[in-house]
Structure 1
């Protein structure tokens, strides 16, 4: 009985995460993958700017 309760809670959490993925993203902001992509692009731009400054 005590082993079934944690499994049920995990199953319910996964179900909610899959079914309401879009609503959760809208509630808490951007998707983390989008944030990572933006951070990588920003860092590339910063590195290119620093290299241009060094070459001048």
Structure 2
């Protein structure tokens, strides 16, 4: 019984290590490209005035 459990444990360890290696390779190869945003020349930011909400005491 213990030999069977240790064999399952070793197989499980290989599966987890394989998944770990694949994920590390995917992280290394993932290179994000810089995102360029083209804004029209007449684009302006508008500020919104916010008033505080008053909650009545009950």
Give the TM-score range, shorter chain. Answer: 0.3 to 0.5
Say which one has the larger Rg. 2
Structure with more helix by fraction: 1
Relative to the length of structure 2, the TM-score reads: 0.46
TM-score normalised by structure 1 residue count: 0.47
Which fold has the larger relative contact order, with Cα–Cα distance below 8 Å and residues 6 or more apart in sequence? 1
